[in-house]
Amino acid sequence: MPRVKITDHLLIPFGRPKWSIEKIRIVGVSTGGTFFESEGPLAHVDRSKKVALRLRDFVDLVPGDFGYDKEDPGEALAVIRTHLRQTCELDTDSERRFLDLYFAYCEKAVTPSEWELKYYERKNLAVPKNDPLWVFDALLPLPQAHLYLEDPLSTTYSFVPEKMVKVDFAFWTGERLVAVEIDGSSHIGSEQHIRKDRMLQRAGVSVVHILNGELLQHGEDCVRKLLPTAITQFWQSAESKYRINPLSVPF
Protein backbone atom coordinates (compact mmCIF):
# COMPACT_ATOMS: atom_id res chain seq x y z
CA MET A 1 0.00 0.00 0.00
CA PRO A 2 1.54 3.36 -1.02
CA ARG A 3 2.32 5.72 1.84
CA VAL A 4 3.00 9.43 1.50
CA LYS A 5 4.39 11.83 4.10
CA ILE A 6 3.89 15.53 3.36
CA THR A 7 6.51 17.33 5.38
CA ASP A 8 6.24 20.79 6.93
CA HIS A 9 2.43 20.89 6.76
CA LEU A 10 0.67 20.46 10.10
CA LEU A 11 -3.05 19.90 10.58
CA ILE A 12 -3.91 20.52 14.22
CA PRO A 13 -7.41 19.55 15.39
CA PHE A 14 -8.57 21.64 18.33
CA GLY A 15 -11.59 22.67 20.32
CA ARG A 16 -12.78 19.19 21.29
CA PRO A 17 -11.73 17.06 24.29
CA LYS A 18 -11.89 13.87 22.23
CA TRP A 19 -10.71 13.30 18.71
CA SER A 20 -10.02 10.59 16.13
CA ILE A 21 -8.15 10.94 12.87
CA GLU A 22 -11.16 9.66 10.93
CA LYS A 23 -12.76 13.07 11.45
CA ILE A 24 -10.36 14.54 8.88
CA ARG A 25 -10.96 13.46 5.28
CA ILE A 26 -9.38 14.18 1.92
CA VAL A 27 -12.30 15.30 -0.26
CA GLY A 28 -10.46 16.31 -3.43
CA VAL A 29 -7.14 16.41 -5.23
CA SER A 30 -6.44 18.77 -8.14
CA THR A 31 -3.58 20.53 -9.87
CA GLY A 32 -4.17 23.42 -7.46
CA GLY A 33 -3.91 21.48 -4.22
CA THR A 34 -5.31 18.83 -1.93
CA PHE A 35 -8.59 19.53 -0.19
CA PHE A 36 -9.42 18.43 3.37
CA GLU A 37 -12.66 18.44 5.31
CA SER A 38 -12.93 18.23 9.08
CA GLU A 39 -15.82 17.54 11.45
CA GLY A 40 -14.36 19.99 13.97
CA PRO A 41 -12.06 23.02 14.11
CA LEU A 42 -8.78 22.44 12.29
CA ALA A 43 -5.69 24.65 12.06
CA HIS A 44 -3.29 24.37 9.12
CA VAL A 45 0.34 25.39 9.57
CA ASP A 46 2.97 25.52 6.83
CA ARG A 47 6.14 25.30 8.88
CA SER A 48 8.35 26.26 5.93
CA LYS A 49 6.84 29.76 5.83
CA LYS A 50 7.77 30.45 9.47
CA VAL A 51 4.62 32.54 9.96
CA ALA A 52 2.94 32.54 13.37
CA LEU A 53 -0.72 31.71 13.85
CA ARG A 54 -2.26 34.94 15.13
CA LEU A 55 -5.60 36.33 16.29
CA ARG A 56 -6.02 37.99 12.89
CA ASP A 57 -6.17 34.45 11.41
CA PHE A 58 -9.26 33.67 13.50
CA VAL A 59 -11.82 34.06 10.71
CA ASP A 60 -9.82 31.74 8.45
CA LEU A 61 -9.88 28.97 11.05
CA VAL A 62 -13.38 29.55 12.35
CA PRO A 63 -15.56 30.70 9.44
CA GLY A 64 -18.93 32.07 10.37
CA ASP A 65 -21.01 35.20 10.73
CA PHE A 66 -19.38 37.14 13.52
CA GLY A 67 -20.79 40.50 12.47
CA TYR A 68 -18.22 42.17 10.29
CA ASP A 69 -19.39 45.62 11.34
CA LYS A 70 -17.44 45.34 14.62
CA GLU A 71 -14.95 48.13 13.99
CA ASP A 72 -14.03 48.48 17.65
CA PRO A 73 -10.90 46.36 18.36
CA GLY A 74 -11.96 45.75 21.96
CA GLU A 75 -15.34 44.43 20.89
CA ALA A 76 -13.81 42.25 18.18
CA LEU A 77 -11.30 40.86 20.67
CA ALA A 78 -14.14 40.02 23.05
CA VAL A 79 -16.00 38.20 20.25
CA ILE A 80 -12.96 36.01 19.53
CA ARG A 81 -12.39 35.24 23.22
CA THR A 82 -16.06 34.45 23.81
CA HIS A 83 -16.23 32.18 20.79
CA LEU A 84 -13.18 30.17 21.89
CA ARG A 85 -14.45 30.05 25.46
CA GLN A 86 -17.96 28.87 24.56
CA THR A 87 -17.33 26.52 21.64
CA CYS A 88 -14.01 24.81 22.44
CA GLU A 89 -15.37 22.65 25.27
CA LEU A 90 -12.79 23.67 27.84
CA ASP A 91 -12.56 21.06 30.59
CA THR A 92 -12.10 23.16 33.73
CA ASP A 93 -12.66 26.57 35.26
CA SER A 94 -8.87 26.96 35.38
CA GLU A 95 -8.60 26.56 31.61
CA ARG A 96 -11.29 29.19 31.15
CA ARG A 97 -9.46 31.43 33.61
CA PHE A 98 -6.21 31.06 31.67
CA LEU A 99 -7.96 32.00 28.42
CA ASP A 100 -9.48 35.10 30.04
CA LEU A 101 -6.13 36.11 31.53
CA TYR A 102 -4.36 35.64 28.20
CA PHE A 103 -6.77 37.90 26.34
CA ALA A 104 -6.65 40.47 29.14
CA TYR A 105 -2.84 40.47 28.93
CA CYS A 106 -2.89 40.96 25.15
CA GLU A 107 -5.32 43.86 25.40
CA LYS A 108 -3.33 45.50 28.19
CA ALA A 109 -0.10 45.16 26.18
CA VAL A 110 -1.46 47.51 23.48
CA THR A 111 -3.28 49.93 25.81
CA PRO A 112 -1.50 53.18 26.76
CA SER A 113 -1.63 54.43 30.31
CA GLU A 114 -3.49 57.63 31.19
CA TRP A 115 -0.11 59.26 31.77
CA GLU A 116 1.10 58.37 28.26
CA LEU A 117 -2.07 59.69 26.63
CA LYS A 118 -1.83 62.89 28.67
CA TYR A 119 1.54 63.83 27.23
CA TYR A 120 1.67 62.12 23.82
CA GLU A 121 -0.51 61.48 20.82
CA ARG A 122 -1.18 57.77 20.55
CA LYS A 123 0.36 57.48 17.09
CA ASN A 124 3.64 58.78 18.52
CA LEU A 125 3.88 56.15 21.26
CA ALA A 126 6.18 53.16 20.97
CA VAL A 127 4.94 49.90 19.44
CA PRO A 128 2.55 48.28 20.32
CA LYS A 129 0.76 51.09 22.18
CA ASN A 130 0.66 53.32 19.11
CA ASP A 131 -2.14 51.32 17.46
CA PRO A 132 -4.90 49.26 19.13
CA LEU A 133 -4.92 46.89 16.13
CA TRP A 134 -1.59 45.47 17.26
CA VAL A 135 -3.63 43.22 19.56
CA PHE A 136 -4.60 41.04 16.59
CA ASP A 137 -0.95 40.16 16.08
CA ALA A 138 -1.09 38.29 19.39
CA LEU A 139 -0.77 34.54 18.93
CA LEU A 140 -3.99 32.56 18.62
CA PRO A 141 -4.45 29.98 21.38
CA LEU A 142 -5.77 26.62 20.17
CA PRO A 143 -7.67 25.07 23.10
CA GLN A 144 -7.89 21.27 23.33
CA ALA A 145 -5.30 20.70 20.60
CA HIS A 146 -4.49 17.15 19.50
CA LEU A 147 -1.14 15.85 18.26
CA TYR A 148 0.12 12.43 17.21
CA LEU A 149 3.54 11.66 18.67
CA GLU A 150 6.11 8.88 18.77
CA ASP A 151 6.96 7.03 21.97
CA PRO A 152 10.78 7.00 22.16
CA LEU A 153 10.67 3.72 24.08
CA SER A 154 8.51 1.91 21.56
CA THR A 155 10.18 -1.23 20.22
CA THR A 156 8.13 -1.45 17.03
CA TYR A 157 8.31 0.73 13.92
CA SER A 158 5.27 2.68 12.83
CA PHE A 159 5.03 4.79 9.68
CA VAL A 160 2.58 7.08 11.49
CA PRO A 161 3.07 8.17 15.13
CA GLU A 162 0.52 6.19 17.12
CA LYS A 163 0.29 8.10 20.39
CA MET A 164 -2.33 10.84 20.30
CA VAL A 165 -2.12 13.39 23.09
CA LYS A 166 -4.27 16.40 23.95
CA VAL A 167 -2.76 19.60 25.28
CA ASP A 168 -4.84 22.24 27.01
CA PHE A 169 -3.60 25.03 24.70
CA ALA A 170 -1.26 25.11 21.73
CA PHE A 171 0.42 28.14 20.14
CA TRP A 172 2.29 28.18 16.83
CA THR A 173 5.03 30.83 17.07
CA GLY A 174 6.25 30.55 13.48
CA GLU A 175 9.22 28.51 14.69
CA ARG A 176 7.73 25.91 16.98
CA LEU A 177 4.70 24.69 18.85
CA VAL A 178 4.29 25.75 22.46
CA ALA A 179 1.96 23.66 24.62
CA VAL A 180 0.46 25.16 27.78
CA GLU A 181 -0.81 22.66 30.32
CA ILE A 182 -3.07 23.82 33.14
CA ASP A 183 -2.42 21.37 35.98
CA GLY A 184 -4.15 20.42 39.18
CA SER A 185 -2.48 18.60 42.06
CA SER A 186 -3.55 15.20 40.68
CA HIS A 187 -1.36 15.74 37.60
CA ILE A 188 1.87 16.55 39.39
CA GLY A 189 4.39 13.75 38.98
CA SER A 190 1.93 11.29 37.47
CA GLU A 191 3.42 8.69 35.15
CA GLN A 192 1.01 9.59 32.36
CA HIS A 193 2.07 13.24 32.43
CA ILE A 194 5.76 12.36 32.52
CA ARG A 195 5.41 10.19 29.41
CA LYS A 196 3.34 12.86 27.69
CA ASP A 197 5.91 15.57 28.44
CA ARG A 198 8.70 13.35 27.20
CA MET A 199 6.96 12.71 23.87
CA LEU A 200 6.09 16.37 23.39
CA GLN A 201 9.60 17.60 24.10
CA ARG A 202 11.17 14.91 21.91
CA ALA A 203 8.89 16.13 19.09
CA GLY A 204 10.24 19.67 19.51
CA VAL A 205 7.21 21.02 21.37
CA SER A 206 7.97 23.42 24.22
CA VAL A 207 5.82 22.67 27.26
CA VAL A 208 4.77 25.22 29.89
CA HIS A 209 3.00 24.00 33.03
CA ILE A 210 0.82 26.37 35.04
CA LEU A 211 -0.83 25.24 38.26
CA ASN A 212 -4.46 25.97 39.04
CA GLY A 213 -3.44 27.67 42.27
CA GLU A 214 -0.93 29.87 40.46
CA LEU A 215 -3.66 31.21 38.20
CA LEU A 216 -5.71 32.17 41.26
CA GLN A 217 -2.78 33.66 43.15
CA HIS A 218 -0.79 35.40 40.42
CA GLY A 219 -3.34 36.11 37.67
CA GLU A 220 -1.87 37.78 34.59
CA ASP A 221 1.67 37.25 35.86
CA CYS A 222 1.25 33.60 34.85
CA VAL A 223 0.99 34.79 31.26
CA ARG A 224 3.58 37.56 31.48
CA LYS A 225 6.24 35.63 33.37
CA LEU A 226 5.74 31.97 32.42
CA LEU A 227 5.03 32.02 28.69
CA PRO A 228 7.95 32.46 26.24
CA THR A 229 8.67 35.90 24.82
CA ALA A 230 7.58 34.72 21.37
CA ILE A 231 4.07 34.83 22.86
CA THR A 232 4.28 37.64 25.39
CA GLN A 233 6.09 40.06 23.05
CA PHE A 234 4.09 39.15 19.97
CA TRP A 235 4.61 42.53 18.26
CA GLN A 236 8.34 41.93 17.89
CA SER A 237 7.84 39.08 15.44
CA ALA A 238 4.87 40.44 13.46
CA GLU A 239 5.20 39.39 9.82
CA SER A 240 3.10 42.21 8.36
CA LYS A 241 3.37 45.96 8.71
CA TYR A 242 -0.37 46.27 8.06
CA ARG A 243 -2.63 46.09 11.11
CA ILE A 244 -6.14 44.70 10.62
CA ASN A 245 -9.24 43.95 12.64
CA PRO A 246 -10.23 40.48 11.35
CA LEU A 247 -13.90 40.98 12.15
CA SER A 248 -14.15 44.19 10.13
CA VAL A 249 -12.82 42.69 6.89
CA PRO A 250 -15.59 41.19 4.73
CA PHE A 251 -14.95 38.13 2.61
The domain limits of the chain are 49-248
Q: Note the helical H segments in 156-219.
A: 191-202, 212-218
Is the pLDDT reported for residue 186 higher than 90?
no
Within a 10 A sphere around the Cβ of 37, how many other Cβ atoms? 11
Query: At 68, is the pLDDT very low, low, confident or very high (cuts 50, 70, 90)?
Result: low
Q: What is the pLDDT of residue 154?
A: 77
**What CA–CA distance (Å, rounded) separates 86 from 124?**
37
Q: Assess whether pLDDT exceeds 80 at residue 63.
A: no
Mean confidence (pLDDT) of the chain: 90
* 60, 239 contact by CB (below 8 A): no
DSSP conformation letters of 191-202:
HHHHHHHHHHHH
pLDDT above 90 (res 78): yes
pLDDT band per the 50, 70, 90 thresholds, residue 115: very high
The count of C-alpha atoms lying within 13 angstroms of the C-alpha of 63, restricted to the half-sphere facing its C-beta, is 5
Whether residue 200 has pLDDT greater than 80:
yes
What pLDDT shows up at residue 229?
Answer: 97
pLDDT higher than threshold 70 for residue 40: yes
Residue % of the chain over a pLDDT of 90? 65
Q: Is the pLDDT of residue 105 over 60?
A: yes
pLDDT higher than threshold 80 for residue 47: yes
Does pTM surpass 0.75?
yes
